[in-house]
Amino acid sequence: MTAAVSFPDFRPSGNAAVDPELYDVENRAIDPDGVVLDAMRNLAPWDGRVLVDLGCGTGYWLDGYAREAAEVIGVEPDPTLVELARRRAGRARVVHGSAEHLPLDDSSVDVVHARFSYFFPPGCDAGLAEVLRVLRPDGRLVVVDNDHRNGQFATLLARSLPAAAQGNAETTDAWWSARGSERVEVMSEWRFGTRADLDAVLHLELPAEVADSWLAAHPTVTSMSYGYVLFSVGPGSRPPDRAAIPARRRDPAGDGPAPPAPGSPAGPG
């Protein structure tokens, strides 16, 4: 039984905590060709290493990581999601903790993944310090975030008022750059088996008026382009001479350039 501990950095998710089964549908639809996973491996290989999935939610990704890593530890602050993750963890271990409160020893971890979890700058220094504490000297944190400039999903984020609570692209890029992070853009997609699944997930992640408008404009599709930005930093990272903020690019899906959007909803993870 998970102890009823409340963490000051914990905010209940607007997706996994609301509808865990639908959140699994969302996770199955993301990155169907594995380009995000490939980018994560390039930044910080986890084959034979100790990996932490920070904010593991329902534990969807744990078993996949465990096929390669020597040890996988899921960390989740939501007591209900901890129990769900433990039921599907396989040989992974799931612990109750948060970004600011990792129940792990100093220098005990090789790779930390944070998919749409905690790191929505500014105001993330305490969590970053805690992650750097548990990483070994050559370890890496890999953060997966929404690309607010590119992809069809970015255009929806730009119209979503709730997303404003999680910052904006310029702030996020500058915060990570100042901390010596490597930045990688990846264009992928959401690819659903049915139109009904796409409809349900869009309404889980976005205000109804935003989801309804996009669905009406794209009446037959079951997929959309989805851009990601990955940030990677480790104990040995050094800030660059200056922040490099990327120029706006045209969305290859044909919806035109997306304006810098306010911060993202929790996103798939």
At 230, the amino acid letter reads: L
Residue 247 lies in a domain: no
Integer Rg of the chain from CA = 18
Per the structure, the complete domain to which residue 114 belongs is given by 20-148+167-191+228-233
Residue identified by tokens 């979890």 is 117
Q: Are strands 135-146 and 109-115 parallel, antiparallel or unpaired?
A: parallel
Structure-model confidence comparison of residues 115 and 252, the more confident one:
115
Instruction: Quickly list DSSP for 68-110.
Output: TSSEEEEEES-HHHHHHHHHT-TT-EEEE-BTTB--S-TT-EE
**Does residue 65 lie in a domain region?**
yes
- pTM of the model as a whole: 0.87
Question: How does pLDDT run across 68-91, given as a tens digit for each residue?
Answer: 999 999 999 999 999 999 999 999
In a domain? residue 80: yes
Q: What is the CATH number of the domain that holds 175?
A: 3.40.50.150
Residue 12 pLDDT level (bands cut at 50, 70, 90): confident
Closest CA to 251 of 175, 159, 185: 185
Average pLDDT of the residues in 96-103: 96
Q: Summarize pLDDT for 150-205 with one digit per residue, the tens.
A: 999 999 999 998 776 666 899 999 999 999 999 999 999 999 999 999 999 999 99
